[in-house]
Structure 1
């Protein structure tokens, strides 16, 4: 099930609001949407100010017939299913799962 334009806009807005203004020169949250999948990333500025920003996958949100499924990412950026997390019916609930410190997405 494809992610709607409204949900795409909500994801982009959510990602933009995750980092306080004073830290936006050093870190950012990204969101790439493709079809029924949104990949959430944490972007970091180079430590010495020279070079490219780096990106680390944090989670993947999938829109399914049952709702939104949240998957994690390991230290190598490969996704893994979070079988202990059931699919949630709304995007807001999926974003709440990402913010819950018990699930350690932002490790």
Structure 2
């Protein structure tokens, strides 16, 4: 099930608000939507100020007929199902799963 324009806008806004203003020169959160999946990434500036920013996959939110499924990324950027996390009915609940420190998406 394709992600609606309204949900895409909410995802982009959520990603922009994740990082405080004073840290935006060093780190940012990105969100790319394609079809029924939204990929959340963390981008970081080079530590020495030279070169390109690096990007790491954090999570993928998939919109299905039953709700939103949250998947994690391993160190190689491959997706794995988070079997301990249930499918949630709303985008807000899926984003709350990402924000919950017990799920360790950001660490």
Question: Which TM-score tier does this pair reach, normalised by the shorter chain?
Answer: over 0.9
Q: Which stretches in structure 1 are left out of the alignment for 5+ residues?
A: none
C-alpha distance in 2 between matches for 1:74 and 1:100: 18
Superposed CA deviations along residues 12-37 of structure 1, whole A, max 9, x for unmatched, are 00000000000000000000000000
Which secondary structure state, in structure 1, belongs to the residue aligned with residue 72 of structure 2? strand
> What does residue 95 of structure 2 align with?
95
Q: Which runs of 4+ in 1 moved over 3 A?
A: none
Give, in angstroms, the shift of residue 65 of structure 1.
0.6
Partner of 2:19: 19
Structure 2 CA distance for aligned equivalents of residues 6 and 18 of structure 1: 19
Tell me by how many angstroms 1:88 deviates: 0.3
Q: What are the equivalent positions in structure 2 for 1:49-64 lying under 5 Å apart?
A: 49-64=49-64
1:8-64 CA distances to partner (integer Å, 9 max, x unpaired)? 000000000000000000000000000000000000001111111000000000000
> What is the correspondence of 1:1-107 to structure 2 with a 5 Å cutoff?
1-107=1-107
The alignment partner of 2:105 has SS state of coil
How many residues of Structure 1 are paired with residues of Structure 2 in the alignment? 107
Structure 2: segments with no counterpart, 5+ residues: none
TM-score by length of 2: 0.99
